Amino acid sequence: MICVAGHSCFFVNMGKKKSFIDRIEIIAISGNGGNGCVSFRREKSIPHGGPDGGDGGTGGDVILEADKNLFTLLDFFYNPQLKAKNGSTGMGKCMSGVSGKTCLSKVPVGTLVRDFESGIVLCDLVQHGQKFIAAKGGVSGRGNTRFKAATRQTPRYAEEGKPGETLKLLLELKLIADAGLVGFPNAGKSTLISSVSSARPRIAAYPFTTLVPNLGVVNADHDTTFTLADIPGLIKGACENQGLGHDFLRHIERTRGLLYVIDISGSEGRNPADDFKVLKGELQKHDKHLLSKPYLIALNKVDLIKGEKKIKDFILGTGEKKEIIIPISAKEKINLQKLIEELLKLIENVKKYG
């Protein structure tokens, strides 16, 4: 983890792959407005030409635009200062100055823009192509031709352009997905998302191989798809910064539903029912509203158990309804089609009824 300007962001070295950053501070500086011009016509045939000073150009804006093809705020790590151009000074012959060039920067869909000092949300960029003016360019100054009147025929003054804005902002990315995967390290979340979608997260036989969130698109049938978000594994005490902490839980705040992935085999030496209770407890500590989301439970690694005793013990230990529990094996691809169908039903119900 690397700190930028006093705030934490996630910068994970993954060889030649791009790194993932989901929270970063930036400075937006809009352009100053150009000064108005003091000028008078000087032509042989017009001895009393009068004022002809033009207005200055307006300062350029700093604009953020949501782009569905981006999934990280990495670009701002290398360029945290966004600066638009100043407007130029007005000219004679009533010619206005050139407006400053806008600074347009693209951000991933799902980016929150916060005021750095107060933390107030200024904009939530949730749609592709949505734009937000982060810093408004300065107003241009008026030239002296604007001040001429019957009682003031030779105004020898013009307005100065207004300065632009300098704002310190905090960008916070919350991925937008239909369902989010929640589970302990080594529960098989990465294997699951790679088995049901085209996502290819890092998979290994040790904890915390998933260091950044992953998005996968699942083809439910020929005409229907939905997206899954896989976040790094949670452990007890995550809210106290054990393991990877709660830093990535913001990425499931927008999901329509949750899928708890539980290692039913107990191969890690833990009780599956206790795992489920710990996961719910950690979600509640992060944001109690997460527990109100509809959910399913995938009991993974059924290929490593014999009979249904452990499944029955899980149901007794948690008191959960059998209807929302789906035994699967992500590695052996057992019962994954049923899981996809049930997830699709959950997502469509939320879309329909809210």
Predicted confidence (pLDDT) per residue in 35-46, tens digit? 999 999 887 777
- Which two tokens mark 255? 């999901």
Torsion angle defined by CA atoms of residues 109, 115, 117 and 119, in that order, rounded to the nearest 10 degrees:
-60
AA letter at 131: K
pTM of the complete model: 0.77
- CATH number, position 77: 2.70.210.12
Closest CA to 33 of 137, 147, 133: 137
Maximum C-alpha span of the chain: 106
For residue range 4-35, list pLDDT tens digits in order. Answer: 333 333 433 333 344 678 889 999 999 999 99
Q: Are residues 238 and 341 in the same domain?
A: yes
pLDDT of residue 205: 45
Backbone dihedral angles phi then psi of residue 344, each to the nearest 5 degrees = -60, -40
- pLDDT-derived band at 237, boundaries 50, 70, 90: low
| Plot region of 276 (φ>0 → left; ψ -120 to 50 → alpha; else → beta) | alpha
- pLDDT at residue number 13: 39
CATH number at residue 260: 3.40.50.300
Who has greater pLDDT, 289 or 221? 289
110-134 mean pLDDT: 96
Range 269-273 average pLDDT: 90
Mean pLDDT of 208-222: 72
Mean pLDDT of the chain: 86
Kindly report, residue by residue over 149-201, the tens digit of the pLDDT.
888 888 999 999 999 999 999 999 988 889 999 998 888 888 899 899 876 65
Question: Are 138 and 196 members of one domain?
Answer: no
What range defines the domain where residue 237 resides?
179-353
**102, 164 Cβ separation under 8 angstroms:** no
- Domain shared by 106 and 245, yes or no: no
**What CA–CA distance (Å, rounded) separates 275 from 264?**
10
**Domain count of the chain?**
2
Task: State the average pLDDT over residues 339-345.
Answer: 95
Measured between its terminal Cα atoms, the distance across the chain in Å is: 37
Based on the domain organization, do 23 and 134 belong to the same domain? yes
155, amino acid identity: P
